[in-house]
């Protein structure tokens, strides 16, 4: 079974600085996607960024970028120029093989300090 | 832009009662996923439908059933409710059964079982 591991239950960053959230996964599939979702206090699930496994280039969305290391099965999220609105729970998620469901990690609670 | 609609947003039930959660996907979306997020937990996949047929099944209790109707809305029926069923239930919809298509999450239904 596919598993997603987030080893940092909590992280904090100063406003305007950079923070990296870690995620590792385990799969035997060759066709899969990886995602980072943000869940603010409103509990809404918001897609931040996604990466197709077959693409070597790391995905980037404005201040958010990933470091995808396929061989190491690592998928970290870097948030640059952190803003107060970035404070939220961040979930790493996987979807692969014949399954289209999302499998989530346990989450990392990010605090942004002013 | 239209989003996924879930109703009700909040629901309070007593043990052994039944509950029905409804999900209205984004127009033209034919795929629906249901997830359960317990307090302090990551979302867990329950069940999914594509073109009104069940496409995948996760850790959904036998007390729960779900279906997708001709207008693509979906309902999750929960019977003999237990305290442990208290959770946030998300519905997500996508344009098709393909990882290229993003899963858009609804705001969730918060179910409290007393």
pLDDT in tens, B96-105: 877 777 899 9
Burial of A88: CB neighbours in 10 Å, binned 0-12, 13-18, 19+:
buried
pLDDT tens column, B20-73 = 999 999 999 999 999 999 999 999 999 999 999 999 999 899 999 999 999 999
Residue ranges for chain A with pLDDT beneath 70: none
Residues of A with CB under 8 A from a CB of B: 32-33, 42-47, 50, 52, 91, 95-96, 99-107
Q: In 3D, which of B43, B37, B24 has the Cα closest to residue B85?
A: B37
Which among B42, B88, B107 has the least Cβ separation from residue A104? B42
Cβ neighbours for A35, distance < 8 A, ≥ 6 positions apart: A47, A48, A49, A50, A51, A92, A93, A94, A95, A102
Q: What is the pLDDT of residue A97?
A: 81
Please tell me the predicted confidence (pLDDT) of residue B2: 84
What's the pLDDT score for residue B77?
A: 98
Cβ-based contacts of A103 with chain B (< 8 Å):
45
Q: What's the pLDDT score for residue B113?
A: 98
Q: What is residue A56's predicted lDDT score, i.e. its pLDDT?
A: 87
């Amino acid at each position: 079974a596919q598993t997603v591991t987030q080893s940092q239950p909590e992280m904090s960053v100063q406003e305007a600085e950079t923070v990296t959230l870690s995620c590792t996964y385990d799969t035997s599939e060759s066709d899969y996607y990886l995602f980072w979702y943000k869940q603010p206090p409103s509990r809404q699930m918001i897609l931040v960024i996604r990466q197709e496994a077959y693409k070597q280039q790391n995905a980037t969305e404005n201040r958010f970028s990933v470091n995808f290391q396929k061989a190491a099965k690592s998928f970290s999220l870097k948030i640059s120029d952190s803003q107060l609105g970035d404070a939220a729970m961040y979930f790493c998620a996987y979807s692969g093989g014949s399954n289209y469901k999302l499998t989530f990690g346990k989450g990392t609670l990010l605090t942004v300090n002013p | 832009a239209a989003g996924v609609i879930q109703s009700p947003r909040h629901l309070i039930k007593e043990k052994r009662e039944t509950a029905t959660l409804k999900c209205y996907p984004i127009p033209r979306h034919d795929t629906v996923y249901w997830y359960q997020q317990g307090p302090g937990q990551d979302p867990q996949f329950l069940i999914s439908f594509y073109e009104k047929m069940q496409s995948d099944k996760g850790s959904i209790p036998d007390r729960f059933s779900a279906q997708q109707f001709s207008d693509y809305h979906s309902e999750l029926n929960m019977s003999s409710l237990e305290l442990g069923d208290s959770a946030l239930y998300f519905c997500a919809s996508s344009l098709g059964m393909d990882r290229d298509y993003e899963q858009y999450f609804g705001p969730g239904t918060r179910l409290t079982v007393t």
